[in-house]
Amino acid sequence: MPTSPDPTVLYPDVATFGSLATALRAEAEACLGAVPVTSPDCAPMLHATVASTLPHRETLQISAWLHERWWSIRGEEPFQSLALIDGRTNDLSEVARAARAWHDGASLDDIRQAAPFVHLTGRFEVPDHDPARLTESEWQSMRQEAGELEYA
């Protein structure tokens, strides 16, 4: 069974800083400013989070891949923990731009504009948890997902 390479091999720049949060901040200090970026104690080189100023958004999850040099993001709504945005890139400065926009409460479309790797899931934010709007958001996501499927 193949094993994952040592993260310090795939991410020597992150290893230099000791955590993904610190490397992200160093990569884009001007972009992130005072935005709080944290990494967990258990896997600091592989994960980081950025909180949002909006109460109807969970923290943005940032993860380093184990087998290739890529970072992925996922931003969820708190009611059902469904993704509003996700994406992957090999450019840490793009991750920083997406994190800043998520933190600042930019619209989902504006986050996509700030960081083109961001994929909009089709769900939209429903701050008041209105059941009809939540259902509409989920249906919109399902329609978008079906439209993105490749058929042979």
pLDDT over 60 (residue 1): no
pLDDT over 90 (residue 9): no
Per-residue model confidence as pLDDT tens digits over 17-53: 999 999 998 887 778 878 889 999 999 999 999 999 9
Contact 95, 118 (CB under 8 A): no
DSSP helix/strand/coil, 85:
strand
d(CA 89, CA 69): 9
pTM for the full predicted model:
0.87
Give mean pLDDT, residues 72-98: 94
Q: Please report, for the chain, the start and end positions of each structural domain, with discontinuous segments joined by +.
A: 7-148
Question: Which residue's entry shows tokens 């993704």?
Answer: 83
Q: Look at the chain and count its residues.
A: 152
Quote the percentage of the chain above a pLDDT of 90: 61
